Amino acid sequence: MSTQRATRRQFIKRTGFSVASFSVLVQEGRGKSLQQYLEEISPDLEPRDVIAALGDTLIPTYEPDYPGYRRLEKHGITEEVLKGLKGVGKKDFLTFNEVSKDFFGKPFMELDEEKRADYVDFVMGLFPEGSFGVSDFNALSRTESHNRDVSDLVESAELIDEPKELDKQVAMVLQRIFKLCRTRVLTVFYRNFPYHTIERDAEGMPIPTDQEHQIINPNKSDIITGWDIANFRGPLSWEEELERRDRFMKIHWHGEQEKDNIY
Amino acid sequence: MVKTREYDLIVVGAGMAGIILAARIAEKGINSRTGDRLRIALVEAGPHVKREVGGYSDPDWRRMVPQIVWEEFKNIPRWPWPYGLKMVGGCSPHWGANAFPPYDIDYKNWVDEMEIDWTQNNMKTAVDDVMKTLHVHEDPEQAFSVGDHLFRDAGYALGYHPRGYMTARKNCIYCGFIGSGHGCKYDAKGSSLWYLPTFLEHGGELISDAEVQRVNIEKKGAGGVVTGITYLKAGQTIQARANKVAVCCGTWGSPVLLGKSGYGPKSELGSKTLVENKNVGQNLDGDTRYRIPVIFDQPIKEAGRGTTGGIYWYDDDPKFSDGTGRVRFADKDMSKITYPHVAAMSEFAPGYGKAHMDFMREAITRLGAIDIGVSKPPTHVKGWVDLHTGAHNYPGDAYIDQRMNQVREIAIEIAKLMKCKISMRFPSTFRGRGGGHGNGTCRAGSRPQNSVINQDFEAHEVQGLFVADCSSYPRAVSSNCGIVGAIMGAFAARRMVRNYFSRGV
């Protein structure tokens, strides 16, 4: 691939980076190596704390309209997120925290809310175009290759102004951590945590909330959960069952539309 | 300790095909020598969840399965996640109830390519049996969502003939929990369990929690003859004797059991080969599908509730007269439930923050997908099942890639007509991704050189061994396979009764 020259504006336009204050050049052997970061990290930091901070950034809390991740900490949401984070080690989290220092002046954990969001934008910029929030198919020109990895473009660009450098291996660690954490945080939150499981008896059998009609709905009204935000009601109540039964009993099943259906 | 039991017929696998096969033979068949009722065993590896008073929605069943979000299945040790589910009823209690019988071209393929008599006319009574018992019908228009209407209108505008999905349900209240592996509180989704009372009322013996180790085959000349099965139950090894065994373990399971029994290709079974047939586990056929996400500016369906299976139509490649290249267009999730955690990971969702939460407030009512797929791949493209592991492989083909790209262009036109946004992500190749709704791994045909069973479902080389399920039909059908597997059970029952279990045989 030939090296190209580009202005910062062209570069950002081409790569889709949304970090406004600087441009980034990702390349093998450029910038601080993964090993160098590992030598500098603080071993006292726990992955749990990084996840909690990242969760708070991904699903921020601004009462009352944005009931986010932080409110559910007292119910153990970060511990639930941690349960499903397989394949990433403590060093990865610490690297994620440390890299921020070279681009935003402080480790991720020490940044304020706004700067943490900038760092997340920075990491998201490492992903291929359209990875998050594709809004309009017209915006994605169909003459371009949509499956092309943005890192190819980043690697090929030689910027006129001086970009900050990021080693490709380090970039891959950031991508992996972000992708896994984002997936896990959003999935746990929007699976109705902390009411994501139904209550069971000693034999593991679900306990109905309504014995007569065997209603099993884990949703409760005392905490605003991801289901509430998404307007997902969960399983039906008995009243809703009755209403739907009444509505669908009126359907004439073998009406006009089925005249050419032999069954 | 080895125990021994004796039967006239043993059916292995109480799934979609096995229950129907066993029920109809128990009902219609007799011992051809004595005229007595048949002694039939239906053996299933998984449990039987039965109720004490009529029907199949006992308190146990109702508490366990209905109204539970599908992830809950993962937490039930007795029943692993449905896609690997072993239980009496097989996939049918938790399938999506999409029930498409074979089309004219499907019958024609079977007859023309394999020289068997599986014509529409010959199979009609079996098809009618399943369609009526499972109450298969087109979804009623009153249950269509806004999204269904938009998709149907787009189809009409492009010159197609859109229809509501064929589904198997009774007394459905359209709560939406029919799909995605949920059980149904009222057993509204058509299920092979509906045949089980017939089997039991006619003296059939259901043996659940019994894992069949092998079909016992004795060498006879160049071939073999069935003597029964060996199975494990409650830690005991049990021999069951019968000179007729029907294997109904599905496209992936049946060839593996035949392999364990020493029937299959010598190249795979080596010294364990008892009777050779090179086609066991081969000739895997199936569709290649891809779901293209779309998002609308306005709600197109009820939040957290579902209505129909969707709308569909076919697009045939005019270059082929045998249906090769047939593509099914279908709306997906435009009337089915979209779960919040799935919406949260949508590619239309902003990365994070307030914008993501704002997106989430209506996402489950605005997301959908256009499903496209080559239902009938070229005849030379076949996959295979590993007889040792059950893993399956499907190679794909340049034509499939080209056809999928071709119909993707149509999907983009549909999205424009529906005024929604469509994802532009698309695989660069579909090689290795096909073989869905698989079939053919023990396929029927007139010659042992290219098939495992004959048109009467009996193995070419092993007397008394039958295979009746999705592995039996030799070429992919136009649509989903579930109801076709059921039809195979019903049709095989008729053939077996005619040939072995009636007076005058």
What interface predicted TM-score (ipTM) does this complex get?
0.86
Residue A123 and residue A210 share a domain? no
> Domain boundary residue among A141, A161, A189?
A189
The distance from CA B109 to its chain's CA centroid, rounded to whole angstroms, is 19
**pLDDT 10s digits, A167-199:** 999 999 999 999 999 999 999 999 999 998 877
At A252 the three-state DSSP class reads coil
* CA–CA separation, B72 and A196 (whole Å): 9
* CA–CA separation, B127 and B238 (whole Å): 35
Report pLDDT for A204. Answer: 63
- Judge contact between B14 and B206, C-beta under 8 A: yes
* CA–CA separation, A28 and A192 (whole Å): 41
- Percent of chain B at pLDDT above 90? 76
Residue A222 and residue A139 share a domain? no
Residue of B nearest to A212 (CA): B59
pLDDT at position B129 over 50: yes
Top pLDDT among B419 and A219 is at: B419
Does any domain span residue A212?
Answer: yes
Structure-block tokens of residue B313: 């139509």
Residue A221 and residue A139 share a domain? no
Report pLDDT for A217. Answer: 80
- Judge contact between B13 and B469, C-beta under 8 A: yes
A143-147, A254-258, B106-110, B272-276: range with lowest mean pLDDT? A143-147
Residues with Cβ within 8 Å of residue A82, at least 6 apart in sequence: A47, A48, A51
Residue A120 and residue A211 share a domain? no
Residue A43 and residue A73 share a domain? yes
Residue A24 and residue A129 share a domain? yes
- Judge contact between A241 and A212, C-beta under 8 A: no
A108-122, A131-145, B207-221, B270-284: range with lowest mean pLDDT? A131-145
Residue A94 and residue A149 share a domain? yes
CB contact under 8 A, A234 and B69: yes
At B462 the three-state DSSP class reads strand
Structure-block tokens of residue A182: 């984002």
User: Is the CB of residue B339 less than 8 Å away from at least one CB of chain A?
Assistant: yes
Residue A169 and residue A148 share a domain? yes
How many residue pairs bridge chain A and chain B with CB atoms within 8 Å of each other? 189
Chain B positions touching A188 (Cβ under 8 A) are: 341
Average pLDDT for B319-338: 93
Residue B388 has a CB neighbour count (10 Å cut-off) of 12
Chain A positions touching B60 (Cβ under 8 A) are: 205
- Which residues are bridge partners to B136 per DSSP? B168
> Domain boundary residue among A159, A189, A219?
A189
Q: How many domains does chain A have?
A: 2
Q: For B333, left (φ over 0), alpha (ψ -120 to 50), or beta? A: left
Residue A238 and residue A151 share a domain? no
Which B-chain residues 418-457 have CB contacts (< 8 A) with chain A? 421-426, 428
User: Is the CB of residue B80 less than 8 Å away from at least one CB of chain A?
Assistant: no
CB contact under 8 A, A147 and B425: yes
User: Is the CB of residue B267 less than 8 Å away from at least one CB of chain A?
Assistant: no
A124-133, A215-224, B33-42, B177-186: range with lowest mean pLDDT? B177-186
- For residue B181, what pLDDT band results from cuts at 50, 70 and 90? low
Q: Domain of A25?
A: 4-189
Residue A239 and residue A140 share a domain? no
Nearest CB among A66, A232, A251 relative to B303 is that of A232
Residue of B nearest to A245 (CA): B173
| Domain spanning B2-135+181-283+437-500, CATH class | alpha beta
Residue A245 and residue A144 share a domain? no
Give the DSSP letter of residue B3: E
CA angle B345, B339, B96 (to 5 degrees): 120
Residue A97 and residue A55 share a domain? yes
User: Is the CB of residue B354 less than 8 Å away from at least one CB of chain A?
Assistant: yes
pTM assigned to the model: 0.89
**pLDDT 10s digits, B438-492:** 999 999 999 999 999 999 999 999 999 999 999 999 999 999 999 999 999 999 9
Which B-chain residues 206-225 have CB contacts (< 8 A) with chain A? none
**pLDDT 10s digits, B201-212:** 999 999 999 999
CB contact under 8 A, A132 and B350: yes
Q: Looking at CA atoms only, how far is residue B340 from chain A in angstroms?
A: 5
Residues with Cβ within 8 Å of residue A35, at least 6 apart in sequence: none
Residue B112 has a CB neighbour count (10 Å cut-off) of 11
